[in-house]
Amino acid sequence: MLKLIGISKSYQNVEILKDINISFREKEFVAILGPSGSGKSTLLNVLSAIEIPDKGKMLLGNIDIFKLKKHKQDYYRANYINYIFQNYNLIKYLSVKDNLLISSNIKGNKKINFKIILKKLNVENLIKKKANKLSGGEEQRVAIARSLVGDIKILLADEPTGALDSNNSHKVMKVLKDISKDKLVVMVTHNKNLAYRYASRIIKIKDGKIIYDSNPNDCGNNLHYLIRKTKLSFYNIVKMTYNNLSSKKMRTYLISMAFSIGLIS
Ligand code: ADP
């Protein structure tokens, strides 16, 4: 489905990814293991086209993602990628439900059953809570729930169990394994035990190079993929703006005052 060919990426003249070649299947659960600083998160960022490499190609079917214009790369992300970030990236001033709603709106999905998704991760009781009132573990599980919204073909997860106890870690792994029955799941983790127990393919990376791949994909990449335009609805833009302003009332008031004084003088 997705193929990396000769990917290299440097930051400040230090080469972080070195000639990475991986071909991913449409449905598999890939765990990427490697020491801290070996380039695992950078690799996920390349897969989601958040980072553009210095060299190499990434093919989705026969679409060369890095040759697309920036706004089309954004559509690629909206159409194909769900991402569980290490720092969760929930919108703090929105409720759990609204975080899921925004995600479903970006993904062009109109009807979602929040309760079923939240229940899978044991967080259905948090549906009305604001994201800034959640504990670290709750935030992580809500971020995972948000990534399940929409019929998105690729799920990228950066240390999805980093803040969880063993019981919840197994729960999350089971959810990811279940998703990988009909999607591509690529997970970065430090936890070898969980990776070997749940993933169908282990890739090891060291100093920016792939040093081991337990189940390489030698099949072709000839399925056809489309990249469609998506955008947030006007209603959701207004709602987010309103929530943001009302969660920072004092700041909004001071900015309005300063603006008015400036205008009057
Ligand atoms: P890992 O996920 O394996 O811990 P990362 O991919 O996060 O490793 O980082 C690999 C190296 O690249 C680290 O040394 C990190 O400091 C560096 N790095 C990552 N992102 C940036 C960036 N945006 N600018 C500069 N250096 C970066």
Atom of ligand 1 nearest to the CA of 208: 10
Residue whose CA lies nearest to ligand 1 atom number 15: 37
| Cα separation values, 24 from 10, 20, 146, Å | 23, 13, 23
Going by C-alpha positions, the residue among 215, 216, 208 that lies closest to residue 35 is 208
- Looking at ligand 1, which residue's alpha carbon is closest to its atom 18? 11
- Which is the closest atom of ligand 1 to the Cα of 38? 3
Which residue's CA is the closest to the ligand 1 atom numbered 11?
37
* Residue 25 pLDDT greater than 90, yes or no: yes
Q: Which pLDDT tens digit goes with each residue over 132-190?
A: 999 888 988 898 888 888 778 999 999 988 878 898 889 889 989 999 998 999 999 98
* Site to substitute for ligand 1 among 7, 16, 84, 187, most atoms within 8 A of C-beta: 16
Query: Which residue's alpha carbon is at the smallest distance from atom 5 of ligand 1?
Result: 39
pLDDT tens-digit map of 26-84:
999 999 999 999 999 999 999 999 999 999 999 999 899 999 999 999 999 988 999 88
Per-residue confidence (pLDDT) for residue 232, from 0 to 100: 61
Q: Name the token pair of 124.
A: 């259905």
d(CA 36, ligand 1 centre) in Å: 9
Euclidean distance between CA atoms 58 and 49, whole angstroms: 9
Q: Point out the ligand 1 atom lying closest to the alpha carbon of residue 34.
A: 3
Range with top average pLDDT, 15-19, 142-146, 238-242: 15-19
Residue of the nearest CA to atom 14 in ligand 1? Answer: 37
